[in-house]
Amino acid sequence: MSAVIETNNLTKRYREKLAVNALTLAIQEGEVFGFLGPNGAGKTTTILMLLGLTEPTSGQASVCGFDPLHEPLEVKKRVGYLPENPGFYEDLSARENLLYMARLNRIPEDKARRRTAEVLDQVELSDDGRRLVREFSRGMKQRLGIAEVLIKDPRAVILDEPTLGIDPDGAIRILEMIKSLNRDHNLTVMLSSHQLQQVQEICSRVGIIVKGRLIVQGQMDELGRAILKERQWNFLLEVGAGASGLENDLGAIHGVDEIERRAHGLFLRCTRDVRAEVMALLTRKNLPLLQLRSEDPTLEEIYLKYFREA
């Protein structure tokens, strides 16, 4: 498997501000890579360098085998980019916007019309293709933005906060669309976001950037095991009424390392399997068990762990 996007010590400085600090990463062909970090961490600056839209201070990048600094047009032919707030001609229809984008990409007219119909179908806007864009909701505009990205049949796409400001149902539709494009067309996806739950649903691998520095990258299960260390067991416990003092009793069980109160129960980080002792404790206290299930670390836990260390 070859890297579609690769950087080596990529750095961008704006006078005294170090926006991106010696970034080295590789995104493999056909994977969905989550690029995570708080606002101002350097995510968008990195994307602009990858697209040849801003010049790095030092370091190198390769996108689809081309140097975006010296061969930006070759990169743009092969990579689609959806910014956080995509722009359209509001007084044109969705179909007219896509045809215009196809002409900008020098796609022959017959192929442009065929591709326009195809991508409108892919993003579930076939019935709205002749509507003016000003009539679209934000979610529909984001889907039209994805269609615009796909019009040139790219090898990779870079999506910057594609679900920002969209209602939950619209966000789910966009995530399902991204998964489908990746699965059915082997499309490489770089997803920049701070919506951690959404990233966890669709990304196979993540990188976390803080203050311009990539502090960790890898498979989520590997990162989860790394933060567990010796705490190899995690359980979510929920009981009925009358659980006063339960946390102290649980903390006295050998192997219970940490207890965290959550909206629906208690999260136990343990050095061994303590389910038998927990069940015996609940039986002695005559407490009704609602759930006791094993849980792997969430992406939010992984993110906070590395963010705090940075």
- Residue 304's Cα: distance from chain center in Å? 15
Average pLDDT, rounded, for the chain: 88
Cβ atoms 228, 297 nearer than 8 A = yes
Specify the CATH superfamily of domain 3-219. P-loop containing nucleotide triphosphate hydrolases (3.40.50.300)
Q: Which of 124, 117, 187, 126 is nearest to 159 (CA)?
A: 187
pTM of this prediction?
0.76
Strands 188-193 vs 156-160: parallel, antiparallel or unpaired: parallel
pLDDT for 184 beyond 90? no
User: What is the Cα–Cα distance from 154 to 256, expressed in whole angstroms?
Assistant: 50
> Between vectors from CA 209 to CA 203 and to CA 215, what angle results, nearest 5°?
100
Burial of 258 per CB tally in 10 Å (0-12, 13-18, 19+): exposed
Phi-psi map region of 9: left, alpha, beta (phi>0 left; psi -120 to 50 alpha): left
For residue 202 the two structure tokens come to 């669709």
- What is the predicted pLDDT for the residue at 36? 87
Q: What is the pLDDT of residue 1?
A: 58
Averaged pLDDT for residues 4-22: 93
CA 102 – CA 112 distance, rounded (Å): 6
The answer on pLDDT for 226 being more than 70 is no
How far, in Å, CA of 283 to CA of 74, rounded? 67
3-state secondary structure of 241: coil
Cα–Cα distance for residue pair 146/81, rounded to 1 Å: 8
Give the model confidence (pLDDT) of 159-168 as tens digits: 998 888 888 8
Q: What share of the chain is helix, strand, coil (3-state, %, to 5)?
A: 40, 30, 30
| CATH 3.40.50, applies to 229-309 | no
Task: Please give the single-letter amino acid code of residue 207.
Answer: G
Answer left, alpha or beta for residue 179, where phi above 0 means left and psi between -120 and 50 means alpha: alpha
| Res. 56: pLDDT tops 90 | yes
Map out the domains of the chain as residue ranges.
3-219, 229-309
Residue 281: what pLDDT? 93
Residue 227 has pLDDT above 60, yes or no: no
Query: Picking from 51-55, 110-114, 239-243, 290-294, which range would have the lowest pLDDT averaged per residue?
Result: 239-243
